[in-house]
Structure 1
Amino acid sequence: MADMKTAASLEKASAPDAGSTARAGAVMAAGTVVSRLLGLIRTALLATAIGTSARMSDLFTAANDLPNFIYLMIAGGVFNAVLVPQIVRASRRPDRGADYVSRLLTLAAAVLLVLTVLATLAAPVILRVVTPLAGAELALATVFAYWCLPQIFFYGIYAVVGQILNANGSFGPYMWAPVVNNIVSIGTLLAFLTLMGSEQAQGHSPETWTPAQTVLLAGGTTAGIAIQALVLFLPLKRLNLGLKPKFGIRGMGLGRTAKLASVTIVTMLVGNGLYFVNLYVATLATKARDGLLAQDPPVLIAGLTNLNVAVLVYQLPHAVIALSLATVMFNQLSSAHAASDLQTVRAILSQGLRLTGVATVFGAAALLAFAGPLGMLFSESAGAAALNATIIAILAVGAPFLSANFLLGRVFYAGEDVKTPLKIQLILSAVGVSLAVVAGMSDPRLIVPTLAVAYSLGNVTAVVVSHLFLRRTIGSYGAGEVFDAHVRFIIAGMVAAGAGSALCWLFGGYDDGGYLWQSKLNAVVVLVVGGVLMSAVYAGMLRLLRVDELHQLTGSLRARFRRS
């Protein structure tokens, strides 16, 4: 109770206006919503093109995931966390940070180019280490990797330019640029389906795959990432900073930055190293798939692509709400830390957790209720849809914890504390590797579902561990009030999920031959009708429970749309 009173007094005294934070987040969330919707269309087209439970899908997924995770391991944490406070400080100089930003962009481009070239040349070695693939499958995955690994350079440029824009108060372009990427990818996939045919029609395999198919699939994907990065230079130019290539790091204050970056790199190596453990374990299921498919009747099992599709879906609430709000809040937290104003830091965090929770709890409830139709959207058959639905439902339980932990972690980085996140990540990676080993020892049919359980348990563990460390760092931030708010969110979400599940039952969601499972269009109908029903029930329950956070979010969105 004392914790709750403390948080309330802090918020009244020093929290930034919730509406202004949510409005700034709404600008970014709008771009994220459009981007994610297009991303879902892209994923559905990719599932149609190469399947989700077929050999080709896992080979391409393994190769296409590499650039993102190599970038995150080596540079992502530095660009997305350590540099933001430095850019914010530089923007307050008389030249608005022009000299610092020019040198930073030049240095980042040089480092990224070297990293990209080295990683691309090492593609065969990397794939041998992180997957159990061999023979023709390894050879084709390597070809895919040669086409995909140049994405590392463009991921980095996108992150650096995006953070420069954010530090200067230009939040929208960073979240809208992926829209262009998805449009390019959708175009190339439509061309692939027109020229090469679908997985169901052609039964693509490493033995029949052609260079032209590789160019369209992998080359088109990389082209989209490149354009996503390059379009950010247009709003960057409008800042009128007079940027130009500028070598030399003296006077940039990179000594402290380098110390922070070195620890952050270790943290990202540990954290994303866990991904490569999970990648290896998931591809064990891929290797076992051929033998099970040859049985009579054939046995479908979830593989790496099924896991990736489910992760994409369950991260939607996090991407649309938490990432958008966290980006705005990070600048606020950095400024508060720079002023040694822990009272404002605590208030910002408490407010952010509650604003995020009202959306992510609903997202988790919707994922649980509509796992079936969502799985159907990204599958080549009803059997594959059931596999996707199972993984989505398991991951949905941990969705709110994913977002909460992300916000907790931003507080450490805003205060330029990089050692605590490393300690936390070491604990979480130890737990994650242990669970991955258990999954790898399971029956092939249970490997990916067990990994999904590990993801959800990891998210819950992360919140508990981060909370304990954060209490020691900034003191009480009103966790009691945050917990109380989430209890009300969960009650409302459970009632809404019950309504959604009843609707799925009416549409044959629990019958093998039901309406829901007959086509992707039917699944869309269920999602649209069910989404409207669940939203109405959730909003009504929140009003009944006197929850104010939803009003703050929706009011800000309405104000934004009226101005537009």
Structure 2
Amino acid sequence: MSNEQRVRIPAKPAFPPSNAPARDGARATGRRLAEVRGARPAPDVAPDRASTARSSASMAVGTLISRILGLVKGVVLGIAIAGTTVADVFTGSDYLPNIIFLLVAGGVFNAVLIPQIAKASRLPDKGSEFISRLLTLGVAGLLALTVIVTALVVPIMGTFTSFSGGQLKLAITFGLFLLPQIFFYGLYSLLGQILNAHNAFRVYAWAPVANNVVAIAGLLVFIAVAGSSRAHQHTVDNWTTTQTLLLAGTATLGIVVQSLVLLMPVKRLGLRLRPRFGLRGTGLGVTAKIAGWTVGTMIIGQLSYLVVLRVATISSASKPNGAAGGSGVPGIYEFNRATELYIMPHSIIALSIATVMFTAMARAAAAHDFSGLRSSLSAALRTTGVATVFASIALIVLSGPLGMLFGGNSDLSGRQIAITLAILAIGAPFFSVYFILNRVLYALEDARTPFVIQCMVVATSVTMVLASAALPPPLIIYGLAVSYTLNNFIGPFLSHHYLKRRLGNYGGGLILRVYMRFLAAALVAGVAGEAALRAFGSASPDGFMWTSISASLVTLAVVGSAMAVVYFVMLKALRVHELDDVVAPLLSRVRSRMPSQG
């Protein structure tokens, strides 16, 4: 999830966002709406280039710090509850507010409201009247949705998870504290897009930092009061109300803070906002018709994750309430930690590159310059592959220490995360390819084809997920990981098929040859990394890297750095020019910030 004009929910560990390409159609939808209504499309950059550069730099720093803190939060959460049945119940419960918001309101906010906010901001009153009406409707709708969902917490938890007995009771209790996040997710999205429409990007990018700080502080207080999972075996049977307040309460408090910190910057815009009812004549109906395919694509994707959630909690529900670190059954906690790690290279690398390249793609598509569009697509795929192919091999080789990092000092939980991560990492580069191919379709202002592709992908995904449910409980999570990996091959195949019919040959042979060189270099780095891991005791159950979180950090720092150096050297030896396309802009930025001589 990126910083573009779209719904961004950065605070949750989540299943891989197969619907992400749908949300990236918002800008194309906005341009198309402007053409329909005879208005001027929103520009891609602000008039003040210096101000834009400063804002971009601030956003990049804020996003990076937020991601780092998100990793820290994951590590601290592991120390608090990893290896316990409570970890699975909390993870399943904590995921629902995110998915319900995206399912019910996320697509509407992204594809219907955001383009209108951007357009209204160019009116003489800076959109004051329209935004007042929009906020009134949005806040009222979000409040009603949150109240209804929270009131239905019992059937919702019973339907979308496989918990029963004491686990279900605890999940319902967690839900009462966590489901109110839906309102604040929506408020954060509304306020953030108002700021973005008025070129005030920084606070929106930094707000998740405040969320993570609050959440980490809450987890540290939990550990201080209730103890870590290693020191005190937290179970469903001995769980207390105080522990719920500290764990679930502070998680929601972080989302509340994340949204409320945007109130003051919005007030500084001077929009004179006040409650106003009625949206007739605002053009939302036209936008909704245009954006219907985009909304549908998002909804289909989120529905599939409800099935995943139901199946993922089967293994968790098979554990006895008193099961703790000794359980040999991986649960949804391990699955979510692994997916969070596996999707990170895409979120940091592919998303950034695709965002930069999207403007060139959109301009080429608008000018019917299909040669330029094919060139931009080929460049985006090759540049992204430099990083994602290596990241895939690195995640496989380093899955052990990464698992320990998030396993809360439980070597069993750490190994379960590691196995799941290694399976998921195989398909990581293809997930990024699928994302970029769908971006081209949105650049062509074709939202129907991604919807059709999404339906086919979801159909195969749900079939494989349901097949995983038939496996023995200790294998269900691994079965889900296999289904994700297989699905990551299917998505790009389908998108490639549709795009080749639309664009012709966009250099598939060249892209494949370049990826083979990436893979060759990454495999050499992987062999070197695997050899280095042996020095840290990877082959022994009692080896150094399996002993603690600090040991896993040392292992990651040393072995990961060594692998990166070997990969860099191999790319140079193989004369991979795409490496320069990634490194040159970074070096240019560094040089531009250095003081000039003389």
Q: What are the within-5 Å matches in structure 2 for residues 185-224 of structure 1?
A: 185-224=215-254
Matched, 1:40 2:68: no
Among residues 502, 512, 517, which one is paired with 2:541 in the alignment? 512
Distance 1:357 1:241, change over 3 A: farther
Equivalent positions of 1:27-66 (< 5 A) are 28-51=59-82, 53-66=83-96
In structure 2, do the counterparts of structure 1 residues 348 and 358 end up closer, same or farther at CA, with 3 Å as the change threshold?
same
Identity %: 46
Give 2:388's aligned amino acid: T
* Aligned-pair CA distance for 1:254: 1.3
Amino acid in structure 2 at the alignment position of 1:403: S
Q: C-alpha distance in 1, partners of 2:200/2:581?
A: 22
1:145 aligns with 2:162: no
Aligned partner of 2:153 among 105, 110, 123? 123
> Partner residue of 1:255?
285
Distance in 1 of aligned mates of 2:359 and 2:274:
25
Letter in structure 1 aligned against 2:307: V
The match for 1:306 among 323, 327, 334 is 334
1:508 and 1:303 map into 2 onto residues whose CA distance is 26
User: Is 1:378 matched with 2:372?
Assistant: no
The answer to which of 484-493 and 358-367 deviates more is 484-493
Assess, with a 3 A threshold, how the Cα gap between structure 1 residues 238 and 477 changes in structure 2: closer, same or farther: farther
Q: CA deviation at 1:165?
A: 4.7
Q: State the TM-score, normalized to the length of structure 2.
A: 0.82
2:260 to 219, 222, 230: 230
Q: Distance in 1 between matches of 2:330 and 2:548?
A: 20
Q: Is the 8 Å Cα contact of residues 177 and 252 (structure 2) preserved in structure 1?
A: yes
- Structure of greater relative contact order (alpha carbons < 8 Å, 6+ residues apart): 1
The answer to whether 1:531 aligns with 2:548 is no
CA distance in 2, matches of 1:417, 1:558: 36
Equivalent position to 2:585, from 535, 556, 559:
556
Residue in structure 2 matched with residue 423 of structure 1 by the alignment: 452
Distance 2:132 2:365 in 1: 26
Larger helix proportion, structure 1 or 2?
A: 1
- Alpha-carbon separation, structure 2, partners of 1:500 and 1:99: 59
User: How big is the shift at 1:337?
Assistant: 5.4
- Paired residue for 1:135, among 161, 165, 168? 165
Q: Shift of the alpha carbon at 1:93?
A: 5.5
Does the C-alpha gap of structure 1 residues 530 and 99 become closer, same or farther in structure 2, counting only changes over 3 Å?
Answer: farther
Counterparts of 1:134-533 in structure 2 under 5 Å? 134-166=164-196, 172-233=202-263, 236=266, 246-290=276-320, 300-330=328-358, 345-380=373-408, 381-533=410-562
Instruction: State the 1:411 CA deviation.
Output: 3.5
| 1:353 alignment partner AA | L
Shift in Å at residue 157 of structure 1? 2.9
What is the match of residue 112 of structure 1? 142
Count of matched residue positions in the alignment of Structure 1 and Structure 2:
544
Of the structure 1 ranges 472-481 and 429-438, higher mean CA displacement relative to structure 2 is found in 472-481
C-alpha contact (below 8 Å) 2:164/2:317 kept by paired residues: no
Write the deviation string for residues 395-449 of structure 1: whole angstroms up to 9, x where unpaired.
Answer: 1111122222223333344555332222111111111111112211112111100
- Aligned partners of 1:326, 1:103: CA distance in 2, in Å? 34
Q: Is the partner of 1:200 in helix, strand or coil?
A: coil
| 8 A Cα contact 2:84 2:323, kept in partner | no
1:336-368 Cα distance to aligned partner (Å, 9 max, x none): 656666565544443333333222222212111
Residue in structure 2 matched with residue 3 of structure 1 by the alignment: none
- Counterparts of 1:254 and 1:539, CA distance in 2: 50
Shift of 1:81: 4.7
Which amino acid in structure 1 is aligned with residue 96 of structure 2? Answer: L
Inter-partner Cα distance in structure 2 for 1:414 and 1:310: 32
Relative to structure 1, is the Cα distance of residues 224 and 323 closer, same or farther in structure 2, using a 3 angstrom cutoff? Answer: farther
Cα distance in 2 for residues equivalent to 1:412 and 1:174: 28
- TM-superposed CA distance for 1:461, in Å, is 1.0
- Aligned equivalents of 2:304, 2:437: Cα separation in 1: 20
Give 1:77's aligned residue.
107
SS at match of 2:319: helix
- Rounded Cα–Cα distance in structure 1 between residues aligned with 2:424 and 2:125: 47
The code of the aligned residue for 2:400 comes to G
Kept after mapping to 1: 8 A contact 2:166/2:237: yes
Q: Which runs of 5+ in 2 are unaligned?
A: 1-43, 45-49
Q: Tell me how far apart the structure 1 counterparts of residues 568 and 504 of structure 2 sit (CA, whole Å).
A: 33
Q: Is contact 1:293–1:299 with CA below 8 Å preserved after alignment?
A: yes
SS in 2 for 1:75: helix
The amino acid across from 1:554 in the alignment is V
Judging changes above 3 Å, is the alpha-carbon distance between structure 1 residues 164 and 468 closer, same or farther for their aligned structure 2 residues? farther
Aligned to 1:12: none
Deviation for aligned residue 1:486: 2.5
Question: Structure 1 pair 26/82, CA: closer, same or farther in 2 (3 Å)?
Answer: farther
Does the CA-based 8 Å contact 1:148-1:221 persist in structure 2?
A: yes
CA separation in 2, counterparts of 1:493 and 1:357?
11
Q: Kindly provide the amino acid, as one letter, of the partner of residue 582 in structure 2.
A: L
Higher alpha-carbon deviation: 381-390 or 314-323: 314-323
Whether the aligned pair in 2 keeps the contact of 1:23 and 1:560 (CA below 8 Å) is no
TM-score scaled by length of structure 1: 0.87
Distance 1:229 1:349 in 2: 36
Contact kept, 8 Å, 2:85 with 2:322, in 1: the verdict is no
> Structure 1 stretch 185-194 or stretch 324-333: which is displaced more?
324-333
Unaligned stretches of 5+ residues in structure 1: 1-15
Alpha-carbon separation, structure 1, partners of 2:412 and 2:151: 39
How far residue 563 of structure 1 moved from its aligned partner, in angstroms, is 3.4
Shift in Å, 1:204: 1.3
